[in-house]
Amino acid sequence: MLSENAKDIPGFEGVYAVTEDGRVYSHSRVVKAAHGSTQLRKGRWLKPKINQGRVLYNIGAKWTFAHRIVAMTFLPNPENKPQVNHIDGNPLNNNVNNLEWCTQSENIKHAYATGLKKPIKFFGTKHPKHKLSDDDVLAIKSSKESLSVIAAKYGISKTWASRLKRDANWVHIKADSNGNTTTTTNEGIGEKCG
């Protein structure tokens, strides 16, 4: 039987409902069988699937995270933020009071602040698998050569060369317009490398 704190899931009205704590209910309804006849499908609570520590439900022939279902149903999203954050950091706690809409950046910062993600210990030449030196990275970041030429010259992929040029990797090394170098410690690097 459906509880009082359940609401129909937007886009699935009359088919599926969700409770404030993230349980999903399939309403009783008449469905067409494969051979063309109709049958009554009795209402029931759906069984969740746990994948990588997160709860999913199969609604509308698609596996969907419980926290997204709860947020879409109960939480207004006036700023149209794309992600849902578990405030207490527990992905199994899908209660509406534990969820908030957030940006990817806010979600990553929350993960570092709560200790769910650990700061990067080794980066740049301190990383055991590094291919490039700080001087190589500086040369790449200030280079005017094409990505193909850079990739061939340093034995890296064009994607990696592009990430270096955009400061998506090796963010602790910066080159200004004059070719001067600034190097920082790993403090704050976690915010860019989530």
Angle among Cα 98, 103, 106 to the nearest 5 degrees reads: 70
Please tell me the distance from the alpha carbon of residue 24 to that of residue 165, in angstroms, as a whole number.
Answer: 46
- Are 165 and 148 contacting, i.e. CB atoms less than 8 angstroms apart? no
- The pLDDT tens digits for 13-28 are 999 999 999 999 999 9
Q: What does DSSP assign to residue 2?
A: -
Beta strands per DSSP E along 106-186: 173-175, 181-183
C-alpha count within 13 angstroms, C-beta hemisphere, residue 176: 5
Domains of the chain, start order: 6-113 (3.90.75.20), 124-192 (no CATH)
pTM of the model: 0.64
Please tell me the distance from the alpha carbon of residue 8 to that of residue 181, in angstroms, as a whole number.
Answer: 57
- The pLDDT tens digits for 123-180 are 667 767 778 888 888 888 888 899 999 999 999 999 989 988 887 776 777 766 565 5
